[in-house]
Amino acid sequence: MISDRADAVSATLPTFQRTRRLRNSPAIRAFVRETSLQPSDFIYPLFVVEGEEVRREISSMPGQYQLSVDRLEDEVAGLDALGIPGVLLFGIPNLKDGEASGAFDPDGIVQRAVREIKRVNPDLLVITDVCACEYTDHGHCGILVGDLVDNDLTLPLLARTAVSHAAAGADIVAPSDMMDGRVAAIRLALDASGHAMVPIMSYAAKYASAYYGPFREAAESTPRFGDRRSHQMDPANAREAMREIAIDLDEGADLIIVKPALSYLDIIRDAREAFDVPLTAYNVSGEYAMIKAAARLGWIDEWRLTLETLLSIKRAGANRIITYHAREAAVWLGSA
């Protein structure tokens, strides 16, 4: 009989702790859950292009599109309904030049996109990426002198770009270039132009990563030659990230980003412990592409893997996550 067997077994049992008690039913598991994930955690990146009625899928990022300004209304209406609080805008201009003049054009692609989104939904948080690489004909993140991005010549360009975004109505500007002194330069310019209340969310610890590959197709920002290792961080360095963050905060950054997310969960954890400011992780294009590719091959359960991945980024210490999964994850969370 079963009870006889149970008696016999319990008589021979050693003393141990039953952690399984707290996993024994969905209700108990929910009750002891330490980390939660919700659509309000997400920021959704959008790629805006010139033209009309453009909704062009990015081949290395299935489900993500280059959108023309006239298609933004539909796009952001959907986000609002899903409970996603904000977008991060990238612009892809038709004309690129050596000075990235499209980046600070008051009628540039991002500036028009900001105005359109604010017209449709003033409550949606609009964050703009501030960098030159989508606007330069050489694809580098600033002004070149010879083959190198010149730090100090690039600062006024970034400051001017950030001011033009704020003037268009951006809620937050997010410099992603990794020039030294850019947060200070942007803060000074924003304050001097009547935008003292516009926060800076700096990509404080941004690594020179192969995970940006699909993004560069999406943003048409692959450098013509060379790479970004003279300004983006070496993936081997963790302590240096704390220094980068401290400097950006000292220069006036209000919020910080660690990027990429998945291979840098240790950096997210370190940053969470060392700095008491809102921390966003960027779950980048290559991380998205890997899940999409494996799902297409039928090798993983996309739904579960995506939510587990995003949860892990929050568990590491991120408050918010910039992610291309935002839409789908919000839907899945709603039906989980």
Write out the catalytic residue numbers. 206, 259
In the chain, the DSSP E strands lie at: 42-49, 55-57, 65-68, 86-92, 125-130, 144-145, 148-149, 172-175, 201-206, 255-259, 279-283, 320-323
What is the DSSP code string of 294-316? Answer: HHHTT-S-HHHHHHHHHHHHHHH
Give me 319's structure tokens: 């408050």
Positions 208 through 227 that interact with ligand PBG (CB under 6 A): 212, 215-216
In this structure, the number of other CB atoms found within 10 A of the CB of residue 291 comes to 18
Q: CB nearer to ligand PBG: give 150 or 191.
A: 150
Q: What x/- string results for residues 221 through 260 when contact with ligand PBG is judged by CB under 6 A?
A: -------x--------------------------------
Q: CB nearer to Zn ion: give 61 or 141.
A: 141
Q: CB nearer to ligand PBG: give 24 or 222.
A: 222
Region from 4-12, 111-119, 130-138, 149-157 binding Zn ion, contact rule CB under 5 A: 130-138
Q: Distances from the Cα of 195 to the Cαs of 154, 198, 234, in angstroms?
A: 21, 6, 33
- Using rule CB under 6 A, residue 129 touches ligand PBG: yes
Q: Which of 164, 285, 309, 323 binds ligand PBG (CB under 6 A)?
A: 285
Q: How many residues does the chain have?
A: 336
Give me 54's structure tokens: 């453009």
Tell me which residue has its CB nearest to ligand PBG. 215
Residue 291 identity: I
- Using rule CB under 6 A, residue 133 touches ligand PBG: yes
Beta bridge partners of 57: 65
Q: CB nearer to ligand PBG: give 39 or 260.
A: 260
CB of 9 to ligand PBG, least distance (A): 54
Residues that bind Zn ion (CB under 5 A): 131, 133, 141
Residues that bind ligand PBG (CB under 6 A): 129, 131, 133, 141, 176, 212, 215-216, 228, 284-285
